[in-house]
Structure formats: structure tokens, C-alpha cells
Structure 1
Amino acid sequence: RDAGMDVEVGGPGFGDPIAVEPISEIAGVVVALIILFFTFGSLLAAGLPLATAIVGVGIGALVTVGATAVLPLNSITPTLGLMIGLAVGIDYALFIMSRYRDELRQGRSRPDAIGLATGT
């Protein structure tokens, strides 16, 4: 050691942790709920696609957390997975709801319409 010289550890790996706030995710869910409400005209019908998407995203998040034990993942991966999962889940639920309503308009009973819509 040289006299008068201090050596310290630095860099981004040793700094304060970055606070991650899920504001964009919450905003995305709220905007999706508003759009779905105006699309379907009912809070229940708007909530069903969101509920199925959230269940799918939850399962995906569990898989992602499990994968972090084995694989190095980028810090943006969970957010990206959440947004893509919500989009795909809502899109698929909209497809099923649209098909269900089409089957009802064609005069099918509710159980038959449900079966045909989900069997697609």
C-alpha cells in the first residue's frame, strides 16, 4: 500500500439499488380496463379478459422467477413479459368473447355458444 492512497470498490454493481415502481404496468392495466369497458359495455365483460390475462401473467412470472435461479436474465425481462402476456391474454380473451357473441346472435344456446367459442 502506498501512503496516502485509499482504494475503494465502485461502479454500478455496488451502488444503491434502483427502485423499481410498476407504474407503467398499472397504467397499462387501467387503460386496458377502460378500453374493454367501452368495448363490451359492462364491467364484468371487461374484467373477464383482464382476469384471464392476469392469471396467465402470474404463471409466467412464476416461471421467470424460477428461471432466474438458473439463467441470467436482463432486468427488463419481467416488465416485458408482463406487457406481452397481458396483450396476448387480452387479445385471446377478446377473440373468445367475440366468437361467443357471434354464436349467440346466430341463435345458439349459451352452453353451445360457450363450447364453440372455447373450442376454436
Structure 2
Amino acid sequence: MLGTTAVAANAVAGTITNFAIIPGTAVSLAITTVVGQIAGAGDNKLAVKKARTLLLWSYLCMGITCMLLFALCPYIVSLYNLEEVTKDLALEIIKFFSIVCLLLWSPVL
């Protein structure tokens, strides 16, 4: 069973990391619409090209937000009134998420 420290750190980290995936979610919606329209028009080569371009934009946007989150997470977490142990655990979760999100989130759109 998880203790109060782990639950609180997970809640804070989960709230903060949701902001990091907003650009990726937006690009995901755009890929669905744009590629669907182009493929529906019968231009499969252009659909693949647009999908790759939008995936590149997703990587770029996610890279920026994840790097900002990684760099600014100590300041963001300090806005919460957490005990030192909980704060350290939340920072660890957020930093781990920032790295994994940057590498794996966009291809899984």
C-alpha cells in the first residue's frame, strides 16, 4: 500500500505533468483531421508526408514543453505546500516523466 507521501507526490506530479502533454494532444487531434481529409481525398503520399510533418511538430512542441517542465519543476512544485520528502519524490516523478514523455509520447499518439 502507498503511504501519504507517495500519494501526495503522485497527485502533485500528475497535475503538473498534464500540462506537458497539451501540445502533443493538440497535434494528435490535428493529425487525425488533416491526414483523414487528405487520405479521404485519395492522396495517400501527401497524407504520409503531412503525418510525418505533424509528428515532427509534435516532437518539437513536446521537446520544448518537457525541457521547460524539467527545468522549472523545482519552482512549480515549490508553489505547493509539501513536506521535503514529498517534494523530493514529486520532483523525481516529474523529471522522470519529462524524459520518458519526450522520447515516447509522440510516437504513441
TM range (shorter): 0.3 to 0.5
Task: Please say which structure displays the higher CA radius of gyration.
Answer: 1
Instruction: Report the structure, 1 or 2, having the larger helix content.
Output: 2
Higher RCO (Cα < 8 Å, 6 or more apart): 2
